[in-house]
Structure 1
Amino acid sequence: MITCGENLTRLLKAYGIDTAFGIPGVHTVDLYRGFDTSGMTHITPRHEQGAAFMAHGYAMASGKPAACYLISGPGILNALTAMGQAYSDSIPMLVVASNNQRAELGTGGGFLHETKNQTAAVEQVTAFTHQLLDPVNLDQTVARCFSVFNAARPRPVCIEIPRDVLNEPGKSETPVWPAPSRAAPAQAAVAEAAARLAKAENPIIILGGGAWEASEEATALAERLGAPVVCTCAGKGIVAEDHPLALGCALPFEPVQDRIKSADVVLTLGSEMSETDQLYTYTRFEIGGDLIRVDIDPEQLARSYQPAQAIVADAKLTLAAILAELPETSPDMGKAHSEAEALRRLIDPLWQPIAADHKPLLDIIRDLLPRDGILVTESTKPGYTSKHYYPCYEPRTLIYPNGYGTLGAALPTAIGAKIGAPERDIICLAGDGGFLFSIEELAAAAEQKLPLPIIVWNNQAFGEIRDSMVAWGLPRVGVDLQAPDYCKVAEGFGCYSARPGSLSEVRIAISQALTADGPTLIEIDANQDWVRG
């Protein structure tokens, strides 16, 4: 007999999921029946939040979803923060969570791991959550998950299975439903957008994370129009930031905001156009001309900025259709390149003074990583600078917790990214405050023997909040931290460690860590004179 739990693992493997992150528990043991012969890999984090962050990084680096196997109650609830980050960032993740037996649900009987309404809690951070009450519905439920991943705005989905259902007989076959096609733009909409762009004298393109698969088409359209390209943090690298028309992630800076306001047509693809991409200066850009918005999510087209034209469609298909409709033109590329270069020069003096402390480290990381190498960072002072300063040449090569801004994301996300793309060089950059949220995942990194440099920017504080308190004349409460000896902690987990005393030693430490036979923690004391720019 094949149980429902065993059948689920077989079905996920048939859909192409080859990795599950999870901590086995008494309510999920039936998920592991037959797992050893399924062809799937199991990675054990040391906290369920780490499991979901690892799945997040895995999907970002590999381009395909992973699974999380989580116990009921505290297990799934521990993971909600990381699932919320993936929901905010539009990252696919398939979460399988157990629950109490069907007869126990909603009774308030005090059963192990009982939650008043677990499904309702999980629904807040998923595209959908389905409580599977009969194994006969499993194949359709999994098909729904992959419909979201393949054709809608990709976000976490959750299949919640009562533990008695996990052990019930499942189907002997594992049918895979065909993947739905992505939404193509209506021809009339394409013609209208192409006409607007063809007549535009001063267009500009804004790229968000929803356009990450459209690098070739976005670059071709920018060159066809002679239009500068600015991106959100999630859109970094869709047009390589060493392209002459690329302005990088520069939405917060006044020269770029002036250019957007003066544009007669602004084409935006796959972006929420939210405040989190403008927080470096806390100024919101304005749009003076016609806004064309393209998004796979129809609700997004009725938020933030009102468009002159709204297109519900896949970004890659839309750009390809617009390119086919646009007449061949010969814009003055010398003039277009000069304009973009002038804008980049105007941005240079506008960095916050503290950025001088971060730029040398980010320059070293950029120099050591190949074009497809990935920097994983989080809400920490050099992380904030990296969003706008660190150049990306391919999409998804800077992973940062954008909208949700989760502390503790960097280390487990970097672990997941390295597992998802073992052939690529990956560097983790965390602040000491955030690093302590997930320091236990050093054990998982060591267990997997990952050649992963883990840079801890140690200012003995929640530095950004500390500085804000000082600037606003508030008392420093709860922001100064007693730090452990990070190198000794790392060594206790079986990792290598380094505490460089100069930028040249930082370079050596990172370079060696990229080829080591296990993870290396590199602690940078941000209060040392050699760090300060």
Structure 2
Amino acid sequence: MHVLAKEAVLTGARVLVETLSLHGVQVVFGIPGTHNLAIYEEIGRAGIRCVTSRHEQGCGYAADGYARVTGRPGVVLTTTGPGVVNAATALGQAYSDSSPILLVSPGVPTGHPREGRGYLHESRDQSRAIAALCAWSHRVTSVSEIQAAVARAFAHFIEGRPRPVHIEIPVDLLEARARVKLVPPYQITPRMPGARPLDEAAALLRSARQPGFVLGGGAQYPGYEKSPVGRIAMRMAERVGARIVTTVNGKGAVPESHPLVLGSTLHLAAVRRWLASCDVVLAVGTELGPADLWDDAFTLWGRLVRVDIDPAQMHGDHIADVAIVADAELAVRGILERLEQLDPMPEPPGNGWRHGDYEAELAELTRRWSGQLAALRRALPPESVVVGDNSMCVYHGALVGMPMDPPGRFLFPTGFGTLGFALPAAIGAKLGRPHLPVVALAGDGAFQFSLQELATAVELELSLPVVVFANGGFGEIREEMRVRGMRPIAVDLHAPDFPALAVAYGARGCAVKTPGELEEAVTEALRVPVPTVIVVPEDD
């Protein structure tokens, strides 16, 4: 797009779109409405690609998937009021998973009275409501302020923890004109670690007899490329004899086929026992939160070295003994350089690891889906992107039953724990990396939260297998009711004929019974230019 070198008189909508273009935005996920038409008019002139989901929540999830595989912020454009609120759940999920999402919406006009007057899509305080679910929400008050607000958003994504933000532009400012000088984005340098904490971390790891590493989402390289943090962490682990476990968002940062890597298994009791017994733990880019540990009361007994871009994490549930607030790659590289200057350990420690407990627990957890997961591994190339919904087949099954080596990626809605994530996020991931195989995995309950996005995938001609594990409703909640001694209530759901519904949308659909049939169906689905819904019956 043409970059303006001098001041010019521009509308607010033009300033917004020009500024987005200057920041490298190539695609916008949104739904047009009465109040954002001026923005869409400028987007059309700018040549930015518009992806129209069937619900604003789907726009948010698609932007999230796009951001996770490209490393570029996902941009969502809604109309005022209900459009913004519809996207709120996706913003909450992006906040939990540290995804860089920019939501842009119109707002009520600048002179609108606070008590309201029945204006279309009017809400009491749209910006304040959304601010509760994202890093910040800002309502601009002039045309000239729009450029600064967008620049602030993109700086936030780079210099700190990349959580979602919202910019509200009063609808009258979109058509208003002002003299504005557009400038390119300013450069932001990574946050450098201090020498002293790096020295302390290296000394602790060198002297540890039972070290353990935890790699979170902050250890993943932005985008799809192989994580340099993961490569450096592997070298460190081999040098000091540490085992590595990852969080869900860290899955794929290191090769899960490596003998020192335990995969994304923090929720296994055997792994938590081992981690609690480590005398030194290095945690990179992770909250060490209950959503990953499945344990609200987990306690570390050893010394904790924390590497995180977010200073608040140093005083979280697990207080750092050595706090390194810095860019993760610079920090772990600095620790490794210091370790390599020290004498290598004569023999890596045994690490207190009881292999049998881990294997038995892993086998029991994945027993229900072992055949199907093996079939998926055979059908999917190593570089595949696997997008999971908050379904039993994923967090009990694929998370641990589908080992992943770089550059494969695993996308999952942790923390906030939304349903309906997989299909729209897979659409965003496929748009972000069209040359890569992408597969969506969901239970039949979760799939029905966003199945209308099949229409979006059909429209975009995406080759996308959508594997639906059917257990007749909300299987996890059903099991929790039984554990409580309850009679299951409100969890057994009527499901449509998913393959027939897929065909009605213009997609393909089939039902399979055996792992062999699943492997064949997924292999075929990767070859055709439309999404394919593949239903797998799940034994209760």
- 1:136 and 2:149 correspond: no
Query: How much has 1:525 moved relative to structure 2?
Result: 1.9
Give the secondary-structure state (helix, strand or coil) at the position aligned to 1:393: coil
**Match 1:39 to one of 47, 70, 95:** 47
CA contact (8 A) 1:55 1:413 kept: yes
Aligned twin of 2:306: 293
**Match 1:150 to one of 153, 158, 181:** 158
- 1:514 and 2:514 correspond: no
With over 3 angstroms needed to count, the CA separation of the structure-2 counterparts of 1:111 and 1:413, relative to structure 1, is same
Q: Deviations over 1:465-516 (max 9, x none)?
A: 1121122211221101011111111111100111112211111100000111
Query: How much has 1:171 moved relative to structure 2?
Result: 4.9
CA contact (8 A) 1:449 1:518 kept: yes
Structural mapping, 1:390-401, within 5 Å: 390-394=402-406, 397-401=409-413
**TM-score in terms of structure 1 length:** 0.94
With over 3 angstroms needed to count, the CA separation of the structure-2 counterparts of 1:144 and 1:344, relative to structure 1, is farther
Aligned twin of 1:305: 318
CA contact (8 A) 1:152 1:182 kept: no
With over 3 angstroms needed to count, the CA separation of the structure-2 counterparts of 1:370 and 1:179, relative to structure 1, is farther
- 1:69 and 2:77 correspond: yes
Judge which range, 353-362 or 221-230, deviates more.
Answer: 353-362
CA contact (8 A) 1:224 1:328 kept: no
Structural mapping, 1:369-408, within 5 Å: 369-385=380-396, 386-394=398-406, 397-408=409-420
- Structure 1 segments, 4+ long, off by >6 Å, are none
Aligned twin of 1:435: 447
- 1:187 and 2:199 correspond: no
Give the secondary-structure state (helix, strand or coil) at the position aligned to 1:467: helix
- For 1:245 and 1:72, the matched residues in 2 are separated by 51
CA contact (8 A) 1:236 1:395 kept: no
Give the secondary-structure state (helix, strand or coil) at the position aligned to 2:35: coil
**Match 2:375 to one of 361, 364, 370:** 364
Give the secondary-structure state (helix, strand or coil) at the position aligned to 2:73: coil
Q: Deviations over 1:129-185 (max 9, x none)?
A: 111111111222111111111110001111100100111125554312313112111
- For 2:149 and 2:219, the matched residues in 1 are separated by 27
Structural mapping, 1:207-218, within 5 Å: 207-213=215-221, 214-218=229-233
Aligned twin of 1:252: 267
CA contact (8 A) 1:235 1:395 kept: no
Query: How much has 1:264 moved relative to structure 2?
Result: 1.7
Judge which range, 471-480 or 411-420, deviates more.
Answer: 471-480
- 1:325 and 2:333 correspond: no
The gaps in structure 1 that reach 5 residues or longer are: none
**Match 1:426 to one of 420, 433, 438:** 438
Give the secondary-structure state (helix, strand or coil) at the position aligned to 1:446: helix
- 1:236 and 2:248 correspond: no
Identity %: 37
For 1:204, the aligned partner's letter is G
- For 1:301 and 1:414, the matched residues in 2 are separated by 33
- 1:485 and 2:497 correspond: yes
Aligned twin of 1:87: 95
- 1:276 and 2:295 correspond: no
**Match 2:360 to one of 330, 337, 349:** 349
With over 3 angstroms needed to count, the CA separation of the structure-2 counterparts of 1:236 and 1:299, relative to structure 1, is same
**TM-score in terms of structure 2 length:** 0.93
CA contact (8 A) 1:101 1:162 kept: yes
Query: How much has 1:351 moved relative to structure 2?
Result: 3.6
Query: How much has 1:397 moved relative to structure 2?
Result: 1.0
Structural mapping, 1:192-207, within 5 Å: 192-207=200-215
Query: How much has 1:353 moved relative to structure 2?
Result: 4.3
- For 2:113 and 2:75, the matched residues in 1 are separated by 24
The size of the alignment, in residue pairs, is 523
- For 2:450 and 2:179, the matched residues in 1 are separated by 39
- 1:467 and 2:479 correspond: yes
With over 3 angstroms needed to count, the CA separation of the structure-2 counterparts of 1:407 and 1:147, relative to structure 1, is same
Aligned twin of 2:3: none
CA contact (8 A) 1:4 1:171 kept: no
- For 1:329 and 1:266, the matched residues in 2 are separated by 20
Q: Deviations over 1:195-225 (max 9, x none)?
A: 2222222211111111112122222221222
CA contact (8 A) 2:15 2:143 kept: no
Judge which range, 44-53 or 118-127, deviates more.
Answer: 118-127
**Match 2:240 to one of 225, 229, 232:** 225
For 1:303, the aligned partner's letter is G
With over 3 angstroms needed to count, the CA separation of the structure-2 counterparts of 1:353 and 1:248, relative to structure 1, is closer
**Match 1:500 to one of 504, 507, 512:** 512
Aligned twin of 1:30: 38
- For 1:368 and 1:173, the matched residues in 2 are separated by 53
The gaps in structure 2 that reach 5 residues or longer are: 1-8, 222-228
Computed over aligned residues only, the root mean square deviation of the Cα atoms, in angstroms, reads: 1.9
Q: Deviations over 1:320-363 (max 9, x none)?
A: 11112222444467x66x869x6454311114746312122222
Judge which range, 37-46 or 252-261, deviates more.
Answer: 252-261
Give the secondary-structure state (helix, strand or coil) at the position aligned to 2:189: coil
Aligned twin of 1:523: 535
- For 1:408 and 1:170, the matched residues in 2 are separated by 42
Structural mapping, 1:445-460, within 5 Å: 445-460=457-472
